[in-house]
Structure 1
Amino acid sequence: MTDAHHSANHPALIMAEVMDEIDAARAFVARDDSFDSAQALRVALRRLRSGLTLFRPMLPPDHNKALLDEARWLAVEVTRLRDFYLLWQDTLTPARVALPENDALRALEERVLARIKSERTQLRALLDGERVRDLMARGREMSDPDFWRPAAQSREKLESLCIETLELRLNQALKHGETLKRLDSQARDSFRKSLRKLRATAEFTQSMFASKKTKAFLKQLKKLLDSMVAARDASAVRDRLEDLMHDMEEGSAERHIAQELIKAKEAAVGLDHKRLQKLWRATVGLPLH
C-alpha cells in the first residue's frame, strides 16, 4: 500500500492537527461575518467526526460516542448558519439585482439577514460556552499517544484498519451509486454523503501511509464531488427557505417568492448524468491503495 521507505504517522498527530483546524476555524467565525468562516468550521468538524469513526478501535471505548454526539450537535448549528449565508449570497443577492423593486423579495432578504444575525450571535455564544470547551478538551486528549490503545503503535494494525475502512466506504458508495440516472434529490444526497465519507477516510489514510495510488484516487474523487456541489447547495437553499416559510402567511407574496426561488434553484442544477456516470466510472476504476 505505502510507497517505499515511508513511516506511518501516529493517529495522535493526525487528530491533533484536526483539533488545530477546529480552533483556527472557531477564531475565524469569531472575527469574520462570512460564508467562508462557517464553512471552515463545518469542514473541520466533519474531519473530526470522520477521524473518530475511522480510529474508533484504537481509542478508549468510552471516548468516541460522547465526542461524536457533541461534534454532530455543533455541526448542525454551524451548518445552519453556513446555509443561510449561502441562501443570501448565491440566491437572494442575484435575485435582488435582477428585481430591485420587488417588495416581496426585499422583505425576504430582510428576513434572511435578520436570521443570519441571530444565528451568528447564537453560534458565537456557543463557541465561547462550556459545552464547546468540553468538546475541545476531550478532543485534545487524543493528541497524547499514550491516550490511545497499544494497537495504535502498530503500523500493521493501523494499515489494516485503514484498508478495511476504505473498502467498507467504497462498498457503501457503490451501493448508493448503482443507478445514478434515476437518483432523486434525497438519494443523490445519500450518494454524495457516502462519497464524502470515502474521501475523508482516504485523506486520513494518505496522511499516515502516503501512496501514489491513493493520491490519484483522491484527485479523481474530488472531481466527482465538485460536480455535485450545485445539487447540495440547492438542497440547502430549499431547506432554509422552507424553514423561513413556517413564519409566513399562507398565500402571501413573500411565501410565493420563496417557493419560486426554490423551483428556480433546483431547476438550475441541471446535473449532467452522463458526465456524472463517466466521472464515477473513472473514480471506481482506480485502485484505492
Structure 2
Amino acid sequence: MADSKREVERKYEATPETRLPDLTRAAGVSAVVHRGLSELDAVYYDTEDFRLAADSLTLRRRTGGDDAGWHLKIPVSADVRDEIRAPLTEALPDALGGLLRSRVRHTPVTPVVRILSARDVHHLLDEDGALLAEVSIDEVLAERLTERGHGTTAAWTEMEVELADDGDPALLDAVERRLRKAGVRPSAAPSKLARALAETAPGKRRRTRKERSPRTAGDHVLAYVRRQAAALVELDPAVRRDLPDSVHRMRVATRRLRSALRTYRALLDRTATDPLRDELKWLAAELGVVRDREVLEERLRARVAELPASLVLGPVAARLTLTSVARRTGSRRRVESVLDAERYLALLDSLDALLADPPLLPAAARAPRDALPRAVLKDYGRLAARVEHALEQRPGEERDLAMHEARKAAKRVRYAAEAARPALGGPARRFARRMKSVQSVLGDHQDSVLARDALRTLAVQAHGAGESAFTWGLLYGTEEAAAAARERELPEVWARASRPGLRAALKG
C-alpha cells in the first residue's frame, strides 16, 4: 500500500556555520520552534544508465526520522513534487515498481548512492500555533555505490524549507526574502541525489551535447514525435495513480503520435512506422474505453443537474452512481492490465528505437516550409471531403456515422498543424485553432450520440426495476435536440474554418 503527499519545498546553500535568521519577521510567522536533531540514512536506487535521474525522479529507501520507508518523488513543477510513500521493506514494493515501469521497463533498479543526513529541524508556526512550514539544516555525506566511482564521497550543508500540507506558497516567498537578506542563496541542485551524482561522478563530467535545433522537415517531425513519446512515459504513473485528466492526456499523446506517423509518412518509412501506428491505435482504443466513460458520466450528471427538481422522477442520481461505480471499477482494472502488459512495454521500446535510428526518407531533408504544409493540406483535403459527405446525409444513423468520421479527420489535421507550428509559426497556429473549432462541433455531436445510447439503456434498466423512465426519456430528447443543433451549426463553422486565405498563408 502506498500513500501520496504533495511536497512543496525550496533548497538553499548553507555551511556548518549557517544559522537561521529571525524568521518571525516573515509575513504570517509568529513563532519558530526548534524540534531537535535526527539522523537519516537513505539509499537511492536507479537503473545502471540513470533513467530515473534523467527524468528528475528519485527513489530511495530511508531509515530514521518520522517517515521511514520507501519514497518515490515525481516532479510536478519547479518547487513541487509528489512523494509516494510505501512501508519499509527489503524489496521494492510493487506499488512503487508499477509507477516506474514506463521508465525502467525490464531493467532492474539497484543502489546508486547512499546519503547520510544529520538534520536540525525548526517549525514555523502561525499565531494559533498551527504549522506553516518546516525548516531544516542538513549536514550531508553522500557515497557513490555504483561500480564506477564506488566509494567516492562528497559532503555539503544545505537548508530546506518545506511548506506544511495545504499551506500558502506565498509563505515560501516571504521566508526566502528573509533568508536572502541574511546571505543565504538558493541551491543550484534540484535535489540531494542530483548533487550527489554530480559530485561523486568518476573523472571529469562530460558536457551533455546540446541537441541542434530542428532544421529540416524531418527534424521537426521527429521533435514532435519525441515530445509525444516522452508524454506517454511521463503520464504513465499519473494514470496508474488515477490522477484527474491523466487518461485523457495520455490518450491524446497516443493519438498525436499515431497521427504524426500517418500524416508525415512521406518523410518516414512506412515499413517502420505502420506497425507502430497499429500498436498506438490499440493503446488509444484501450485508453478510450476509460476516457469515453469519464466523458459520458460527466455529461449525464450535468444534464441531470440542469433539470428542475420536479422533472427528476425516481432514483435518477442513485442509478447514475451505481452505473458509474460499476463502470469505473471495470475501467480501472482494464487500464492497469494494459499498462502492465508486455505489448505496451514493447510499444515504448519500439518508440525509443524509432527515435534512436529514425527511418527518414529523402523528402525528410527538404525545407520545413515546403514539405510540412503539403502534408497538412493533404489531411485538410480529406477532412473537407468528409464534412461535405456528412452534410449531404439525411439526419439519422448515416449522418451520425459520417459526422464521426469527419471528427476523426478534424483531429488528424489539427494535430498535423500543431506538429508543424514550430516551423510554420502563426499560420499553423491559426490553422490548428480553426480545425479545433470544427472538431469541437463534431465532437459534441458524437458525445450526444453516445449519450443517447446510454440513456436508452438506463431507461430500459429503470423500467425493468419498476422505476419511472420519464427523466431518462426527457434527457434523451434533450440530447437529440443538442445533436440537431450541432448539425445546423456545422456548415457555418466549417465555412469560417476553411477560408482559402488561411490555407494560402500556410503554404507561405
Q: TM-score, normalised by structure 2?
A: 0.48
> What is the CA–CA distance in structure 1 between the aligned matches of 2:268 and 2:468, rounded to whole Å?
49
Pick closer, same or farther for the CA change 1:241–1:162 going to 2, 3 Å.
farther
Shift of 1:19: 0.4
Match of 2:284 among 66, 75, 93: 75
Match of 2:432 among 202, 213, 218: 218
Shift of 1:126: 1.1
Pick closer, same or farther for the CA change 1:92–1:137 going to 2, 3 Å.
same
Residue 497 of structure 2 corresponds to residue 283 of structure 1: yes
User: Per-residue CA shift, 1:226-268, capped at 9, x if unaligned?
Assistant: 33442132133345566x67x9598555795656544432323
Say which SS state the counterpart of residue 485 (structure 2) adopts. Answer: coil
Higher helix share goes to which structure?
Answer: 1
Residue 246 of structure 2 corresponds to residue 37 of structure 1: yes
> What is the CA–CA distance in structure 2 between the aligned matches of 1:48 and 1:65, rounded to whole Å?
12
Tell me which residue corresponds to 1:110: 322
> What is the CA–CA distance in structure 2 between the aligned matches of 1:120 and 1:255, rounded to whole Å?
31
Once the two structures are superposed, the pairs formed by residues 147-226 of structure 1 within 5 Å of their partners are 147-149=358-360, 151=362, 154-156=365-367, 160-178=370-388, 183=393, 184-207=399-422, 209-226=423-440
> What is the CA–CA distance in structure 2 between the aligned matches of 1:106 and 1:97, rounded to whole Å?
17
Pairwise CA RMSD: 3.2
Q: TM-score, normalised by structure 1?
A: 0.80
> What is the CA–CA distance in structure 1 between the aligned matches of 2:237 and 2:223, rounded to whole Å?
21
Higher strand share goes to which structure?
Answer: 2
Tell me which residue corresponds to 2:333: 121
Please list every run of 5 or more consecutive structure 2 residues that lacks an aligned counterpart in the other structure: 1-213, 394-398
> What is the CA–CA distance in structure 2 between the aligned matches of 1:259 and 1:127, rounded to whole Å?
38
CA contact (8 A) 1:42 1:78 kept: yes
Residue 260 of structure 2 corresponds to residue 51 of structure 1: yes
CA contact (8 A) 1:86 1:237 kept: no
Shift of 1:134: 0.7
Stretch of structure 1 that moved more, 68-77 or 270-279: 270-279
CA contact (8 A) 2:435 2:497 kept: yes
* AA of the residue aligned to 1:189: H
Pick closer, same or farther for the CA change 1:83–1:273 going to 2, 3 Å.
closer
**Identical aligned residues as a percent:** 22
> What is the CA–CA distance in structure 2 between the aligned matches of 1:101 and 1:249, rounded to whole Å?
11
Say which SS state the counterpart of residue 424 (structure 2) adopts. Answer: coil
Tell me which residue corresponds to 1:65: 274
Larger radius of gyration: 2
